Chains A and B, each alone.
Chain A
Amino acid sequence: MSNLFDLLVAGLATGAIYALVAVGFTLLWQTSQTINFAQGEFVMLPAFLMLAAMHAGAPFWLAIILGILLSMILLGLAFKMLLVDPMMRHGVLPLAIATMALAIGIKEAVKQFFSAEASPFPSIVPTGDISILGHAVSLQSIGVLAVAILAVLGLTTLLNRTSLGHQMQAAAQNPTVARIIGVPVERMILLTFLINAFLVALASLLITPIYLAKFSSGEVLGQAAFIAAIVGGFNQVRGAIAGGLLIGVLDNLAAAYVSTQYRAAVPMIFLIAVILFRPQGLLGRAEERTV
């Protein structure tokens, strides 16, 4: 029983990070029909930007701020202007293929400029345990969950409770009408790219102390988040959150109770089942686009 509790906590902590990345997936899809296959590499890169800042002499807190800002410039602004905008007019598929090429480019660049070997990365949460219901739970797991939940709450508040959020939703649901009523659609789309860059940088900060900073670490994350987004519902932020948590827990339970060799297969089988029986995802709505 204590085993199950440990597995659930660890699964939720990893799942919360998947959720952050999956939310970014759905946001980009909603506003610009971009399926970003480089999303995993987007999570890997900010950690290296922060490490570079620290090598240059910046303290950790400053490196975090610089890393997030640089990520928003590179993975938000530059990604949209230099890759998405020019490729968009050729359709969804060429754009998706371009993001695959970008993934390879980012990976190779990091390997070239840093190294093929893993590097350590400091944790923002101190090590140690606290007791919950008689179980020792690590502060790191709690910290990761707390930061991820706060980020998701902040995002949903922004989308549902503010004028800016309503404008973003309008731009996503019907860009033509939104333009007519005066919503700056282009700016709203850019904003979602910046939010995605912020979320992946945050995910990078939370996951890298556990996975280590390595050029290839985005592969697993990108795949897990992609599955999470589809399972939860590609057109719903809350679907992506639920999908992320579900995949995190499922992955851990599969590793413990099925086998480590087949742990990667279990979420895939689940994905196939969802596509067969509920193609819009667990919380998604059929043929509809909302943020």
Chain B
Amino acid sequence: MKSTLLAGALLAFATATSVHAQAIKLADVAELSGGGATVGTNWKNGIDLAIEEINAKGGVLGRKLEVTHADSQSNPGVARAQVQKALDAEPYVLLGPGYSGSVKVTAPLAAEAGIAQIMGGEAAELTQAGNKFLFRTSFGQQSSMPKVAKYIHDEMKAKTVAVVWVNNDFGRGGRDVVVKELDRLGSKVVADLSTEAGQADFAADVAKIKAANPDAVFVYLNEEESARILKELKRQGVTAPLMGETTLIGQKVIELAGDAANGARGHVGLTTDAPVDLIKAFREKFSKKYNYVPDHNGLKGYLAVYMVKATTEKMGKVDPKKFADTLHGLTIKAADEPGILMDVTFSDTGDIDRQSFLVEVVEGKQVVKQVLPKVK
């Protein structure tokens, strides 16, 4: 009887100690293969880098961070299955996916489990469905497109604009916001051209732009299609200034389009070329560890982990149920938490407000021309 009691006491003690020293478990589901492999790999590497840094400094509230990575194969169906599997292991916070389509089908699962999901998707609708557990790491289209429209109207002084967009959730979402904003500001949309994902031939679309003779062209396509249309615009001699988002002036687009990318401008929420010391330091650490320069998805993964750290420290305890409530309305200052890189505020819908950048491609390189301040 005595020995049973002793064993019981020992077991209870051992369990209590292990709970105290137990790592905080995060689950990541990302596009590690398939069409989004570049997105997912950058995101994953950013997460690993942040966790390594945090653990080296003693973890969060004295506990180490641990992450499991699962591959969505860039496929929403697989992403859903992987997220379900990840949630079954009861993680503290869910990270990813990066594709809006995959976020759309996985967000209800995380919300049902009451687990906060910090993701990379940018489609406007994601945070408009009333989900209380979903958080962005970058601008949604409803935050970035008004800045784009304002730049086209105020800085480019364009009275007429051609809008080219890709016919999917991402493209349609961006097009709807930008057209509405341009209309409000008084710039007239003279050509509104929908294109297909994976489209190879843009000759007809560019001929239409040429015929409309706009003061500026807004291009909102995926990276490869952006490169193809840039080449075709150059081929047909369209000289109107080009404006887009990250997908028009990204490193991959510049590599694919070559000379044709020169002069294109884009609004960028996050870029490793930003004139911000903390971002420069991040870029250096990342390049040293992985031997390549990350894109904005590397930044997003890194920020996601620091969002977890800052929110948990704000709560003063590891409580998955209170996590989402705490992050809503929270402002994290880079002076207090350098890992967050720039001051950021989270809205009640999980959207973010942060400064952003206006980038132009000059001789094959992204050059930050202007820093656009936080909206509020």
- A residues in contact (CB < 8 Å) with B: 2-3, 6-7, 10-11, 13-14, 116-120, 127, 129, 136, 138, 140-141, 209-212, 214, 216-217, 220, 251-256, 259-261, 263
Contacts and interface: CB of A to CB of B under 8 A. Distances in A.
A44 to B, nearest CB: 11
A43 to B, nearest CB: 12
20 contacts: A2-B211, A3-B208, A6-B210, A6-B211, A7-B207, A11-B203, A116-B35, A117-B252, A118-B227, A140-B235, A210-B200, A210-B235, A211-B200, A211-B201, A211-B228, A216-B198, A251-B204, A259-B194, A260-B195, A260-B204
Chain A residues touching B, majority SS? helix
A3 B224 contact: no
Q: Of B34, B37, B237, B255, which is in contact with the most chain A CB atoms at under 10 Å from its CB? A: B237
Interface string B188-215: 0000011110111101110110110000
Contacts of B259: 127
Contacts of B196: 260-261
Contact of B234 (A127, A255, A256, A261): A127
A19 to B, nearest CB: 15
A251 B205 CA distance: 12
B23 interface: no
Q: Which 5 A-B pairs have the closest CB atoms?
A: A255-B204, A10-B203, A3-B211, A6-B207, A256-B204
B245 interface: no
B232 interface: yes
Contacts of A7: 203-204, 207
Contacts of A141: 235
Nearest to B74: A116
A3 B195 CA distance: 18
Contacts of A6: 203, 207, 210-211, 236
Given A117-B38, A120-B256, A120-B258, A263 B224 contact: no
Nearest to B33: A116
B349 interface: no
A209 B34 CA distance: 23
Contact of A260 (B193, B224, B234): B193
B228 A210 contact: yes
B256 A118 contact: yes
A261 B257 CA distance: 24
A252 B228 contact: no
B203 to A, nearest CB: 3
Q: Is the interface of B mostly helix, strand, loop or mixed?
A: helix
B167 interface: yes
Nearest to B224: A118
Given A260-B195, A261-B167, A212 B204 contact: no
B35 to A, nearest CB: 6
A125 B194 CA distance: 29
B222 to A, nearest CB: 11
A140 B236 CA distance: 10
Most chain B CB within a 10 A radius of its CB, from A13, A138, A141, A259: A138
B207 A3 contact: yes
A114 B231 CA distance: 23
A148 B37 CA distance: 37
Contacts of B203: 6-7, 10-11, 13-14, 252, 255
A253 B259 CA distance: 28
Contacts of A119: 256
Interface in B73-98: none
Nearest to A9: B203
Contacts of B34: 116
A261 B201 contact: no
Contacts of A138: 235-237
Nearest to A217: B200
B208 A127 contact: no
B146 to A, nearest CB: 27
A42 to B, nearest CB: 17
Contact of B204 (A10, A117, A211): A10
A241 B361 CA distance: 41
Contact of B194 (A10, A11, A261): A261
Contacts of B200: 210-212, 217, 220
A26 to B, nearest CB: 23
A216 B198 CA distance: 9
B208 A251 contact: no
A14 B207 CA distance: 14
B170 to A, nearest CB: 16
A154 B225 CA distance: 35
A129 B237 contact: yes
Contacts of B228: 210-212
Contacts of A209: 231
Given A10-B203, A10-B204, A217-B200, A260 B194 contact: yes
A256 B205 CA distance: 7
